[in-house]
Structure 1
């Protein structure tokens, strides 16, 4: 039995586009609906439903329609609208059948030949604006936290290791003849060129962006103030959208996933799986694993080396680990774990934004007089045993951050710094651990102290909205228009 013998529906494509193609071809040949219906032995109402995109014809009927119209099935199934007018009609019909329009509780407008192009354009524009507002309304802090928590859960399950991204990074490096050692800026430029992009360093990069990629003209714009070494990661993050096939994110969860993938790809290129894995395996054999050595071997930032270590630790070294980035205020900015450490979290299980215990390495490192060398510390947890952690400070425009990597006590034997005598205890989330003042201080000051809170600007601000949350689209589009005109 062949496919042509099976009375099955056509593979789901675009019923609206198919219907418009059938109608335009019929009108072009001068057939009435009744004449076409008679030619294929169907009722006119059935053909009308097909032309209006309300029904998909099964394969034998589609073949009969194509034959009656002196056409082919392939021609009728072309995905592009047959005309500009048809494209407008399809856009409006599709919008009226969508979940957003349905949620408004409005009756759909019948689109006919009498409906002017101006009316259709207005309806399409109104629907696009309603969808935009719907996306902004949906991007609540709770929705964002849930999406982030779900993504962190997935990362934990896979050990923060993604083979597809590793293969993509390896393919990019192979394309420019990488043979080992730190990946040069020239190699990154060559990768960009092979993907069809040129690099442009400008002084007017939009303030809300780290880079801007112009896919129409094959250009990547970066700040002229970036040191040449540090330009590698922004270029790779920009190219990640092309390599990973990213489209405009349709949800906050998709936006977060794309950002994680971009950072992962940049790390996988700058610290290649094979070479970085060799460095780490030798270090484990020597019981001397160090983020500083990994950083220096590939000429990257400490934070990127620490991130990359989490990608490879479980897959290549059979080690469970955790990672933290905390602001000097104590706020947890980034976190990952698959070693069972209990990060502070909100009611939804989200780590980011929570306050780190003052006794954890990520906080005690800020109090050390030596802020150049790594800080090592054991922390006895009230629940979960003892963890060892190494931490360093890094500067950013928002202040100081600590970047920390840790393991369970039984795994510290593989790391440099395990001989440290620094040790603390943490009973958080019990607020008697580090949040509540002693009884003596409380009695002395609770009725006399009246501090004014330094409210963070983000406390009352709405969650960033737009296709790319936090990015000023008007500024970006004006920037691209300005630079395209200057070519």
Structure 2
């Protein structure tokens, strides 16, 4: 028998439906065995060596288009039948899944060399190996969601934000493109424009009373429906929830594969939401004029764009350094004193853990973010100068209530930059040693001597202290609730 040499031609290129060399090879084998034809008989029919056909069937060689046409004729079928995207039989599907697993990171990390999956390998063995591989991946994901790994990921992200002065030009450009696409004239974003953005992206908005409790919104990507809680309409402003949900679609986010990626996606979505609610093209001139008049105010930014104080504060940190030349810091502090969000590029020296993370640390009692909780006037902003070991800082702060308790949100600058802000004439002063171990985290010596042996507080242990962070692609989300909700609300 004469075996033809391999022609120098272009390999067959798979399409976007996921029909790859491995799937095509298994389909050839499936059709061949159904015809009762041996590998040698098929090889002879297409003038190829059996070893060459074996490599094609095992997905180790990309078939040429001319080869596929010849194979299809020899098998009495069509090229389209070999390329169809219909599922293979269970055995072939398991073989393909295991072949792909063996070429993946999990097997390589364990040092397991790929092996040939012969027909003599029982189906039960394939199922067991696939189940073990899936469990290893699950445990790996769970380990990556420990509090320490989360803090490391958060610290890396905060360093990136500081490097870029918390300004992301690519996200600003995305916001401008979307606003231009819906014909936004500039200035504050209306609720109608938020709906226009949803329609532009192919989504209809649906307000429901039974949104899963672990979610802010749920997007049905299959049917182009975005579900939000009907209570949002009662509160009067659903723009933020709509835009946060749509931002991930605008940015093309895929299902996160690590906690670091999950955090990065959240930061990007929140940033884009802020850039849509407070468009840079309009807000930067407003802030620059306020700087010329020495009257920068977070409250004014909040009121001009009808957003929350926290959104205005976040957005100010995006624009302050790049467009106004003002380094800043931002803090969100729970009423318990715990720092829950932080950003700084003005050399303020906040307390950190051994990894360098600010979040989770106790904010100094003398800092503006803690002092504001004791101010009875919640209508007007609270201003304070605070002397520290690294200089004097001025901050403006407000208290906001939520289902998780009260939080203070504050923005601050170095003393030299205070001249640009309203509230610079405040007489409120404080002295903080927040970077020192003896500040706030240890009681004054006279109090400790008087009470250490005569007190026994019953600790209200935080429920997350002993647990790892929620696992899964979307930490904290109950997937079963989400899928049942989508199933119940999907259009007939």
The TM-score range, normalised by the shorter chain, is 0.7 to 0.9
Match of 2:238 in 1: 231
**Which one of the candidate residues 191, 211, 217 is aligned to 1:185?**
191
- 1:229 to 1:165, Cα distance in 2 relative to 1, 3 A: farther
Match of 1:162 in 2: 168
SS at match of 2:260: helix
- 1:67 to 1:220, Cα distance in 2 relative to 1, 3 A: closer
CA contact (8 A) 2:14 2:20 kept: no
CA contact (8 A) 2:398 2:409 kept: yes
Match of 2:311 in 1: 304
CA contact (8 A) 2:39 2:50 kept: no
Q: Shift in Å at residue 131 of structure 1?
A: 2.3
Q: Shift in Å at residue 148 of structure 1?
A: 0.8
- TM alignment of 1:102-141, pairs within 5 A: 102-103=108-109, 110-113=116-119, 124=130, 127-141=133-147
SS at match of 2:453: coil
**Superposed CA offset, 1:339-382 (max 9, x none):** 22122211111111111111111111112222221111112221
**Which one of the candidate residues 345, 350, 353 is aligned to 2:357?**
350
CA contact (8 A) 1:139 1:465 kept: yes
SS at match of 2:410: strand
Q: 231-240 or 43-52, which moves further after superposition?
A: 43-52
Q: Does 1:17 align with 2:23?
A: no
In 1, Cα distance between the equivalents of 2:280 and 2:40? 62
Q: Does 1:209 align with 2:215?
A: yes
Match of 1:435 in 2: 441
Q: 134-143 or 333-342, which moves further after superposition?
A: 134-143
Q: 168-177 or 197-206, which moves further after superposition?
A: 168-177
- 1:414 to 1:470, Cα distance in 2 relative to 1, 3 A: same
Q: Shift in Å at residue 222 of structure 1?
A: 1.1
In 1, Cα distance between the equivalents of 2:248 and 2:352? 31
SS at match of 1:150: helix
SS at match of 2:378: coil
CA contact (8 A) 1:21 1:82 kept: no
In 1, Cα distance between the equivalents of 2:342 and 2:283? 22
- 1:34 to 1:320, Cα distance in 2 relative to 1, 3 A: farther
Q: Does 1:200 align with 2:206?
A: yes
**Superposed CA offset, 1:151-188 (max 9, x none):** 11111111111122212212222222211332111111
Q: Does 1:97 align with 2:100?
A: no
In 2, Cα distance between the equivalents of 1:343 and 1:47? 66
Q: Does 1:84 align with 2:88?
A: yes
In 2, Cα distance between the equivalents of 1:438 and 1:141? 31
Q: Does 1:286 align with 2:296?
A: no
- TM alignment of 1:272-421, pairs within 5 A: 272-382=279-389, 384-421=390-427
In 1, Cα distance between the equivalents of 2:477 and 2:23? 38
Match of 1:222 in 2: 228
In 1, Cα distance between the equivalents of 2:319 and 2:424? 20
In 1, Cα distance between the equivalents of 2:154 and 2:359? 9
Q: Shift in Å at residue 421 of structure 1?
A: 2.2
In 1, Cα distance between the equivalents of 2:70 and 2:480? 51
- 1:438 to 1:228, Cα distance in 2 relative to 1, 3 A: closer
CA contact (8 A) 1:249 1:255 kept: yes
Match of 2:268 in 1: 261
SS at match of 1:92: helix
- 1:121 to 1:23, Cα distance in 2 relative to 1, 3 A: closer
Q: Shift in Å at residue 48 of structure 1?
A: 3.2
- RMSD over aligned Cα, in angstroms? 3.3
Point out where structure 1 has 5 or more consecutive residues left out of the alignment. none
In 1, Cα distance between the equivalents of 2:25 and 2:112? 29
In 1, Cα distance between the equivalents of 2:247 and 2:286? 25
**Which one of the candidate residues 247, 250, 253 is aligned to 2:257?**
250
Which TM-score applies when normalising by structure 2?
Answer: 0.85
In 2, Cα distance between the equivalents of 1:311 and 1:368? 28
- 1:484 to 1:68, Cα distance in 2 relative to 1, 3 A: closer
Q: Shift in Å at residue 313 of structure 1?
A: 1.2
Q: Does 1:456 align with 2:459?
A: no
SS at match of 2:238: helix
**Superposed CA offset, 1:2-46 (max 9, x none):** xxx9999999999993144256458669684587499787x6545
In 1, Cα distance between the equivalents of 2:337 and 2:443? 17
Q: Does 1:240 align with 2:243?
A: no
Match of 2:4 in 1: none
